[in-house]
Structure 1
Amino acid sequence: MPTTLRMIVDQVIAPVPGALGRYTQALTTSLIDTAPRGCDVEGVVSSSLPSDYELVLERFPGLSGLYKSSLARRELVAAWQFGLTTSPGGGMIHAPSLFAPLRRHAAAGNDQTVVTVHDLLAWTHPESLTPTTVAWNKAMMKRARKHADAIVVPTHALAERLALVADFGDRVRVIGTAPRLGLKLPRDAADRAARFALPGDYLVTAGSLDPRNGVVDLLEALGRADSPDVPLIVLGPENWGEQHLATVAEEAGIARGRVRALELDDPADLATVLSGATAYVAPSHDEGSGTSLIEAFALGVPVIHSDTPAYVEVAAEAGRAVVVGGGAGYAERLAAAVTAVVDDAELADRLSIAGTDRAQAFTWRDSAERVWQLHADL
């Protein structure tokens, strides 16, 4: 009989799949493609509509089967939080998040459960999450500390911070991410660019107005009198709480219409917008993976990023780093970095080439092979 790896794929049919859904999609697809001889991948989902099951099987045609829980997603989340169910049985279980059936099992047997931690926002920025989400993350982290055989994190920087939250000893493994599936410049890129009314020169950033994302800092930077008059496209929502992007931009001194938000689900649309950018700016104060940098690198876009440890690790000097610092001056430093890249074509070309080279270090095939090796080692 084949050895089966049970992958929790429930996030791909969640109401809002988001970044975790993209991660689950890409990693599961690559796990199927790289399965060693005698091994296969089975999907695990909560009790859902038949159309959702069909969607999973359509997304992952190489699955050997689909385990369907008797509990709907909300109930399964609560059940696994309190360890009230043993589904989906034993064997090898891999979870792309902390959402996993963590329970006591014999260390010497064939049962093993691996979970993934993408960030520590519940500890570092709990105000960015709902109280329920914070409580759930902390509860699941405690269960992982007791029962997980290994914990996957995307960067060494996050691994170091995780050690301050929970002691996992030598159970932590660093397995990086890669660009989302389908992130390639499409043949109809010109038509898509026209549909989005993309200007000749523009900057791109990503995130909401949540202070930790640094978008507000970037708006303040672009509102300075000595900053280049370049439009900004924000990949994210227009509103965060009661704040509106256009209002915050105007308050920062940016002319109306120079900043706008786009929420893009189609990877081809994202590739179109990113590839045409003068630079991609990642001003976040706190990140765990740096996947957005990898995507910009893959498309040859010059990258300006904060010096948050995960970004510095992922970029490996392929981008222009800006010190966040603990006090004032971050907006000024961002403005200087943006000005340097916008005004210096030679610098922009060097960053583009360095980023393209750096992107080669990140592939989903490599990530999947390392996951298989991790389970083999366990």
Structure 2
Amino acid sequence: MTNLRVIIDEMLSPNHGSVARYSEELTRGLIASAPNNCYVEAFVSASTDAEYALIAERLPNLAKLHKSALSRRELRASWQHGFTKIPGTGMLHATSLLAPLRRHDRLHRGDQIVVTVHETVAWTRQDQLGSRQASWSRAMLARAEKYADAVVVPSHTVAQQLDEIAQFGDRVRVISGAPSTSLRVPDNGEERAEELNLPERFLLAIGGLDPNRAIDHLIRALRDVDDDVVLLLVGPEPDDETIAAFVASEGIRPERVRCLGTLSNEDLSVAFDHASAFVYPNLDVGFGMPVLEALSFGIPVVHSDAPALVELAADAGVVVEREPSEGYSEALAEGVNRVLNDAPFAERLFYAGQDRSRAFNWRMSAEKVWQLHADL
């Protein structure tokens, strides 16, 4: 019997963003595609009973869940300095850089450690990530460079960027994510749309005023978009005063920008399904799972020309150049207006987006991970 231990701590991240969904979806795929006599175990930092129950519910066929005595913060600090191990031996797969990277015996004991690098923002735009997180990421990558048997990245873009940062050689393997399998429009979708008070025409975007997300440029772009079009932001809470103040400072009517807070999978699916367009103006990104999820719903996608997004969408979306930065808002408005005012073009994007999204699935990604560990 062979066990693959997966570190799923990102699944319980308070932010529950793309990396959290990646961790959950990939682990589910690994369980479903496990070869004969191979089983998937998981490791997680000290969590609440409710969180353990959530893992059991979402990963019902998990062979075993190892529970650390350390909190997530303590575990991050401990592994950054090479302290503490996790139970068991053999194959270990980390769905992020959070891993017990240390000297191990792959030749005689069969121990192996694979980590995942989702993006290189800690190096390319470290001022926008936060000094503490950037410092931790750089320290963990240095440990990975020394101890990891392989590194999984979600795109060729990240692979190229990583090659300029560290010396991994042929240890890098490109294995992309896929649209979340949990995003499906429920049977009462129209009822939920009414509860969310979705406008007739609206743009959907994710995130607040973090510099890298460029939501500030998108808000400014509303000045050149029809007055009846509303921007709905997933993530920021409805009473977010920072966004309200920024909207007012830009001279935009407050009702044109609404914050939805964190949405359930069902409500997010309804929002995707009803949106006039999904806009992803991020300045830098490693993969762009929300873009892929929007494409799977067939709604027009307007995204920046960040290399990973161009690689991902492959002409299924509207590409907007980030430079010059002074004209980025106007460029976003032009891209948005193109899909809002050209019905035949929007219809072509509907089919192109769905076709592109079908090129990605979690079963295929999981099988590539199993193959990677077999190759090691």
Q: How high is the TM-score relative to the length of structure 1? A: 0.94
Q: Which residue of 2 aligns with 1:262?
A: 260
Percent identical pairs in the alignment equals 47
Q: Which residue of 1 aligns with 2:24?
A: 25
> In the TM superposition, what is the alpha-carbon distance from 1:15 to its structure 2 partner?
4.2
Q: Which residue of 2 aligns with 1:234?
A: 233
CA deviations on 1:37-74 (whole Å, 9 max, x unpaired) are 12110111223444443332232111111223343333
Which secondary structure state, in structure 2, belongs to the residue aligned with residue 257 of structure 1?
helix
Q: Distance in 2 between matches of 1:262 and 1:239?
A: 6
Q: Which residue of 1 aligns with 2:111?
A: 111
Q: How many residues align?
A: 374
> In the TM superposition, what is the alpha-carbon distance from 1:290 to its structure 2 partner?
1.4
Q: Which residue of 1 aligns with 2:3?
A: 4
Residue 220 in structure 1 maps to residue 220 in structure 2: yes
8 Å CA contact 2:113, 2:150 repeated in 1: yes
8 Å CA contact 1:69, 1:88 repeated in 2: no
Q: Relative to 1, partners in 2 of residues 1:239 and 1:326: Cα closer, same or farther, differing over 3 Å?
A: farther
Map 1:273-288; keep pairs closer than 5 Å.
Answer: 273-288=271-286
Q: Relative to 1, partners in 2 of residues 1:49 and 1:183: Cα closer, same or farther, differing over 3 Å?
A: closer
8 Å CA contact 1:238, 1:244 repeated in 2: no
Map 1:1-378; keep pairs closer than 5 Å.
Answer: 2-109=1-108, 110-224=110-224, 227-229=225-227, 230-238=229-237, 244-378=242-376
Q: Distance in 2 between matches of 1:332 and 1:275?
A: 26
121-130 vs 265-274, greater mean Cα deviation: 121-130
Which secondary structure state, in structure 1, belongs to the residue aligned with residue 208 of structure 2?
coil
Q: Distance in 2 between matches of 1:183 and 1:151?
A: 28
> In the TM superposition, what is the alpha-carbon distance from 1:87 to its structure 2 partner?
2.2
Q: Relative to 1, partners in 2 of residues 1:291 and 1:145: Cα closer, same or farther, differing over 3 Å?
A: same
> In the TM superposition, what is the alpha-carbon distance from 1:151 to its structure 2 partner?
0.7
4+ long deviations beyond 4 Å: none
Q: Distance in 1 between matches of 2:354 and 2:65?
A: 38
The residue type paired with residue 262 of structure 1 is L
318-327 vs 339-348, greater mean Cα deviation: 318-327
The residue type paired with residue 39 of structure 1 is C
173-182 vs 361-370, greater mean Cα deviation: 173-182
Q: Distance in 2 between matches of 1:191 and 1:330?
A: 37
The residue type paired with residue 126 of structure 1 is Q
Q: 5+ residue gaps in structure 2? A: none
> In the TM superposition, what is the alpha-carbon distance from 1:16 to its structure 2 partner?
4.2
Q: Distance in 1 between matches of 2:233 and 2:70?
A: 38
Q: Distance in 2 between matches of 1:358 and 1:36?
A: 28
Which secondary structure state, in structure 2, belongs to the residue aligned with residue 205 of structure 1?
strand
45-54 vs 94-103, greater mean Cα deviation: 45-54
> In the TM superposition, what is the alpha-carbon distance from 1:243 to its structure 2 partner?
6.8
Q: 5+ residue gaps in structure 1? A: none
Q: How high is the TM-score relative to the length of structure 2? A: 0.94
Q: Relative to 1, partners in 2 of residues 1:31 and 1:351: Cα closer, same or farther, differing over 3 Å?
A: same
8 Å CA contact 1:209, 1:239 repeated in 2: no
Which secondary structure state, in structure 1, belongs to the residue aligned with residue 45 of structure 2?
strand
Say what the alpha-carbon RMSD is for the aligned residues: 1.9
Q: Distance in 1 between matches of 2:2 and 2:106?
A: 18
8 Å CA contact 2:238, 2:260 repeated in 1: no
